Structure 1
Amino acid sequence: MKRYKAYCFDLDGTVYRGDEGIASAIAFIQKLQQEGIEPFYITNNATKTPEQVQQKLAALGIAAPLQHIYTSALVTATYVEQHFRQMKVQVIGSDGIRVALAEKGIHITNDEDASAVVMGLDREINYAKLASACLAIQNGAKLIGTNGDMKFPTEQGFVPANGSFVHLVATVTETEPLFIGKPSPIMLEAIAQAHHYSKNEMVMIGDNYQTDILCGIRFGCDTIHVNTGVTSTAQVQVQQEQPTCCLSSMAEWA
Structure 2
Amino acid sequence: MTDYRSGTAGLDKRPAFLIDLDGTMYAGHAPIPHAAAFIKRLRELKLPFLFVTNNSSRTPEAVAGHLRQHGIEAEPREVVTSSQAAARYAAERKPGGRVYAIGEEGLRAALTEAGLELVDEDERPDFVVQGIDREFSYAKLERAVGFIAAGAEYVLTNPDRLLPADGKLLPGAGTIAASIREAMQIQPLVIGKPYEPIMRFALERLGTAENVWAVGDNPLTDIGAGKAVGLRTALVLTGIATPDNAERLLGIEGTPQPDIVCADLADLLDRLGLS
Q: Same fold (TM over 0.5)?
A: yes
CA apart distance, 1:5: 2.4
233-242 or 146-155, larger mean C-alpha shift: 233-242
- For residue 81 of structure 1, what is the aligned residue in structure 2? 91
CA apart distance, 1:223: 0.6
Matched, 1:97 2:107: yes
Given that 2:250 and 2:257 are in contact with CA atoms closer than 8 Å, whether structure 1 keeps it comes out as: yes
CA distance in 2, matches of 1:130, 1:21: 36
1:161 is matched with which residue: 172, 175, 178?
A: 172
1:249 is matched with which residue: 251, 258, 264?
A: 264
- For residue 68 of structure 1, what is the aligned residue in structure 2? 78
Specify the code of the residue in structure 1 equivalent to 2:257: Q
Q: CA RMSD in A?
A: 2.3
73-82 or 188-197, larger mean C-alpha shift: 188-197
- For residue 137 of structure 2, what is the aligned residue in structure 1? 126
CA apart distance, 1:139: 2.8
Instruction: Give me the TM-score of the superposition, normalised by structure 2.
Output: 0.82
- For residue 197 of structure 2, what is the aligned residue in structure 1? 186
CA apart distance, 1:107: 1.7
CA distance in 2, matches of 1:220, 1:155: 33
Given that 2:219 and 2:257 are in contact with CA atoms closer than 8 Å, whether structure 1 keeps it comes out as: no
Specify the code of the residue in structure 1 equivalent to 2:105: D
Write out aligned runs for 1:1-254 (5 A).
5-37=15-47, 39-111=49-121, 113-199=124-210, 201-231=211-241, 232-233=245-246, 234-240=248-254, 241-253=256-268, 254=270
Structure index of larger Rg: 2
Deviation digits for residues 116-150 of structure 1, max 9, x if unmatched?
21101112222322232222223332211011111
Specify the code of the residue in structure 2 equivalent to 1:71: T
CA distance in 1, matches of 2:96, 2:34: 46
Secondary structure of the corresponding residue to residue 23 of structure 1: coil
Secondary structure of the corresponding residue to residue 187 of structure 2: coil
Deviation digits for residues 39-61 of structure 1, max 9, x if unmatched?
31001111111111111111111
Specify the code of the residue in structure 1 equivalent to 2:118: I
CA apart distance, 1:22: 1.6
- Specify whether residues 143 and 230 from structure 1 end up closer, same or farther in structure 2 by C-alpha distance, changes over 3 A only: farther
CA apart distance, 1:71: 1.1
Deviation digits for residues 24-80 of structure 1, max 9, x if unmatched?
333322333344435310011111111111111111111113332111111111111
Given that 2:36 and 2:73 are in contact with CA atoms closer than 8 Å, whether structure 1 keeps it comes out as: no
- Specify whether residues 228 and 126 from structure 1 end up closer, same or farther in structure 2 by C-alpha distance, changes over 3 A only: farther
20-29 or 44-53, larger mean C-alpha shift: 20-29
Unaligned runs of 5+ in 2: 5-13, 271-275
- Specify whether residues 87 and 30 from structure 1 end up closer, same or farther in structure 2 by C-alpha distance, changes over 3 A only: closer
CA distance in 2, matches of 1:74, 1:177: 17
Specify the code of the residue in structure 1 equivalent to 2:187: E
Secondary structure of the corresponding residue to residue 54 of structure 1: helix
- Specify whether residues 130 and 110 from structure 1 end up closer, same or farther in structure 2 by C-alpha distance, changes over 3 A only: same
CA distance in 2, matches of 1:79, 1:198: 20
- For residue 273 of structure 2, what is the aligned residue in structure 1? none
- Specify whether residues 138 and 189 from structure 1 end up closer, same or farther in structure 2 by C-alpha distance, changes over 3 A only: closer
Specify the code of the residue in structure 1 equivalent to 2:39: I
Instruction: Give me the TM-score of the superposition, normalised by structure 1.
Output: 0.88
Secondary structure of the corresponding residue to residue 34 of structure 2: helix
- For residue 10 of structure 2, what is the aligned residue in structure 1? none
Specify the code of the residue in structure 1 equivalent to 2:171: P
